[in-house]
């Protein structure tokens, strides 16, 4: 029997219901008694940026660009190589595994082998992006017009069919997506600064620790300008020059030397579960594994799901209300302000926003939830707003909130749910990494294990993070299929 088609209202209701169920288990208390005063000090610093306080702004800016461009280019190359083989289960599994692990987690693991080096930073971006590129490129290839390939002689090999009949059709779309990922790469590159790489995030972290909010405001202003003007300075024809320049810049960055044999020790000792490494047998291994699952993986997973679900519900509410801010017939003269607000919120990565909220609200789940909801809500609102402006309207259509409530919102509800489901996987992936800031998600336990150089425990916990992301992806695809009927 064919399952009943799932409506947008049922999906939205289910999402809100799960968020309400998660609320009693969420730690939302603010532990900073003078958060109002702290916020005023920060705001005063942000509106009076001090560019003179930054000693090496050019170097940090160039490094942020270089890590992003090199990482995205390497990831695109990897994804391009995997995409033609997407029909193979092993390739899809590898792609899922690569993109399920956050760039920060990749960087922390790679540093065990490569040290704090440009190679670790570039690979930390390239590996998850290769999984993302492979999936998107494969979808673009599948959706390409099959007729040119059908006109080729029957004995034409698969590679020739791809290069001469499919690639010319999808190359523009691939290039457009590549340029979009550069914006994401800039966010990833900046965040890598929080764990020691010489990007803008490192400068921001340093100034916040010193309480130099005006200098931090200058960093954030430059960062927003960098993202907002991306389409102006990154032209497709100059992309190769930018990537070559990035490689040259990264090659001259000095970094601490890594001891010889680090890779061999990592492969033959560090990642081997401790009981097996010491020859303790299968019983000791199962006990070791059970202890990690009970005391670290399970509580970390539950916290990740709680934060992610509440953040998803709040994301949806902000996006649904916020897309009106960029539609001229609804927002009127306030549209430029609404557009600017969405640009600022989506420019800052969730991790960076959570770091800011952490300074104001203290350690709890609240900074992570707010950061995730604001960033992802702004992205969905921006995309919905663009689609709303393309909808054909009657000449006598109303304006303002009446148009939003009675025309735009109902017509875009299906697209709204699809975007939220797509961002759900990303929100959970980002939620896990919030543990590096002290929130008790999976990242908290991964960070603790790395601090104790227990890489074997890290791999078990990373497998948990992969399972969460892969599960969210599978549920999301199943819901979308049910919605299509």
Q: What is the pLDDT of residues 281-306, one digit of tens each?
A: 889 999 999 999 999 999 999 999 99
Residue 281 shares a structural domain with residue 256: no
Residue 416 shares a structural domain with residue 331: yes
Backbone angles phi, psi at 131, to 5 degrees: -65, -40
Provide the residue count of the chain: 485
pTM tops 0.85, yes or no: yes
103-114 and 409-433 helices cross at what angle (nearest 10)? 30
| Mean pLDDT confidence for 200-228 | 88
Helix (H, G, I), strand (E, B) or coil at 401: helix
- How far apart CA 459 and CA 46 sit, in angstroms, is 39
Residue 283 shares a structural domain with residue 427: yes
Residues sharing a CB contact under 8 Å with residue 95, sequence separation 6 or more, in sequence order: 79, 82, 86, 130, 131, 134, 135
Residue 132: pLDDT above 70?
yes
Residues sharing a CB contact under 8 Å with residue 349, sequence separation 6 or more, in sequence order: 187, 188, 190, 191, 375
pLDDT of residue 33: 56
Q: What is the pLDDT of residues 62-104, one digit of tens each?
A: 999 999 999 999 999 999 999 988 889 899 889 988 988 899 9
What tokens does 140 get?
């673009």
Residue 13 shares a structural domain with residue 156: no
Residue 418 shares a structural domain with residue 447: yes
Any idea of the CA torsion for 24, 28, 31, 37, to the nearest 10 degrees?
-140
What tokens does 261 get?
């044999």
| Mean pLDDT confidence for 222-247 | 89
CB-facing half-sphere around the CA of 90: CA atoms within 13 A: 1
CATH number of the structural domain spanning residue 333: 1.10.3720.10
Q: What is the pLDDT of residues 391-431, one digit of tens each?
A: 888 888 888 889 988 889 888 888 899 889 888 988 998 99
pLDDT of residue 343: 85
Query: Does residue 352 form part of some domain?
Result: yes
pLDDT of residue 332: 86
What tokens does 106 get?
């990749």
**Residue 97 sits in which domain range?**
46-262
Residue 194 shares a structural domain with residue 329: no
pLDDT of residue 16: 94
Residue 310 shares a structural domain with residue 246: no
- How far apart CA 332 and CA 403 sit, in angstroms, is 12
Residue 279: pLDDT above 90?
no
Query: Does residue 101 form part of some domain?
Result: yes
High-pLDDT (> 90) share of the chain, %: 38
Closest by CA position to 41, among listed 208, 202, 222: 208
Query: Does residue 35 form part of some domain?
Result: no
What tokens does 41 get?
């000090």
Residue 242: pLDDT above 90?
yes
Residue 230 shares a structural domain with residue 137: yes
10/359: higher pLDDT: 10
Domain final position from 262, 291, 318: 262
Closest by CA position to 273, among listed 259, 258, 286: 286
- The number of distinct structural domains making up the chain is 2
Q: What is the pLDDT of residues 6-65, one digit of tens each?
A: 888 899 999 999 999 999 999 888 766 556 777 788 888 888 888 888 878 888 999 999
| Mean pLDDT confidence for 384-397 | 86
Q: What does the mean pLDDT of the chain come to?
A: 88
- How far apart CA 244 and CA 239 sit, in angstroms, is 9
Q: How many CB atoms lie within 10 A of CB 55?
A: 10
Instruction: Please give the full DSSP string across 93-116, using - where no structure is assigned.
Output: HHHHHHHHS-HHHHHHHHHHHH-S
What tokens does 19 get?
């968020």
Query: Does residue 258 form part of some domain?
Result: yes
Least confident range of 161-165, 199-203, 382-386? 161-165
CB-facing half-sphere around the CA of 221: CA atoms within 13 A: 16
Domain final position from 262, 282, 312: 262
Domain final position from 238, 262, 286: 262
Query: Which sign, positive or negative, has the C-alpha torsion 246, 192, 97, 376?
Result: negative
Least confident range of 44-53, 155-164, 325-334, 447-456? 155-164
Q: What is the pLDDT of residues 347-356, one digit of tens each?
A: 888 888 998 8
Residue 54 shares a structural domain with residue 167: yes
């Amino acid at each position: 029997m064919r399952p009943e088609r799932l409506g947008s209202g049922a999906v939205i209701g289910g999402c809100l219901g799960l968020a309400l169920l998660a609320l009693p288990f969420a730690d939302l208390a603010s532990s900073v008694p003078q958060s109002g005063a702290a916020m005023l000090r920060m705001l005063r610093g942000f509106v009076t940026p001090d560019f003179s306080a930054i000693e090496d702004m050019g170097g940090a800016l160039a490094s942020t660009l270089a890590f992003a461009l090199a990482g995205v280019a390497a990831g695109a190359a990897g994804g391009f190589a995997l995409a033609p083989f997407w029909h193979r289960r092993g390739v899809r599994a590898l792609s899922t595994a690569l993109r399920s692990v956050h760039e920060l987690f990749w960087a922390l693991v790679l540093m065990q082998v490569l040290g704090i080096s440009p190679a670790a930073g570039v690979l930390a971006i390239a590996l998850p992006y290769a999984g993302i590129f492979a999936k998107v490129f494969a979808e673009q290839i599948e959706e390409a017009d099959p007729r040119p390939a059908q006109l080729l002689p029957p004995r034409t090999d698969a590679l020739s069919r791809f290069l001469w009949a499919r690639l010319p059709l999808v190359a523009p779309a691939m290039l457009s997506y590549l340029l979009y990922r550069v914006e994401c790469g800039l966010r990833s590159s900046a965040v890598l600064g929080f764990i020691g790489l010489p990007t803008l995030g490192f400068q921001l972290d340093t100034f916040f620790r010193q309480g130099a909010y005006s200098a931090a405001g200058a960093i954030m202003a430059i960062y927003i300008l960098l993202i907002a003007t991306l389409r102006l300075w990154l032209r497709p024809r100059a992309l190769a020059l930018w990537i070559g320049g990035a490689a040259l810049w990264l090659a001259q960055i000095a970094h601490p030397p890594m001891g010889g044999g680090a890779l061999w020790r990592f492969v033959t000792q560090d990642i081997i579960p401790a009981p097996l490494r010491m020859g303790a047998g299968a019983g000791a291994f199962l006990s070791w594994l059970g202890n990690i699952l009970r005391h670290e993986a399970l509580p970390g997973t539950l916290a990740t799901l709680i934060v992610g679900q509440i953040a998803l519900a709040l994301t949806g509410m902000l996006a649904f209300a916020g897309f009106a801010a960029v539609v001229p017939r609804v927002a009127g003269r306030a549209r430029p302000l609404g557009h600017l607000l969405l640009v600022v919120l989506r420019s800052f990565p969730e991790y960076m926003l959570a770091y800011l909220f952490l300074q104001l609200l203290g350690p709890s789940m609240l900074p992570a939830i707010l950061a995730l909801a604001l960033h992802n809500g702004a992205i969905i609102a921006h995309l919905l707003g663009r689609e709303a402006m393309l909808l054909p309207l009657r000449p006598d259509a109303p304006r303002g909130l009446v148009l939003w409530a009675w025309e735009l919102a109902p017509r875009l509800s299906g697209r709204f749910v699809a975007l939220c489901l797509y961002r759900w996987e990303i929100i959970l992936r980002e939620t896990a990494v919030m543990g590096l800031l002290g929130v008790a998600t999976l990242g908290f336990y991964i960070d603790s294990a790395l601090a104790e150089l227990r890489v074997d425990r890290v791999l078990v916990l990373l497998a948990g993070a992969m399972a969460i992301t892969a599960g969210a992806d599978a549920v999301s695809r199943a819901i979308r299929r049910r919605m299509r009927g």
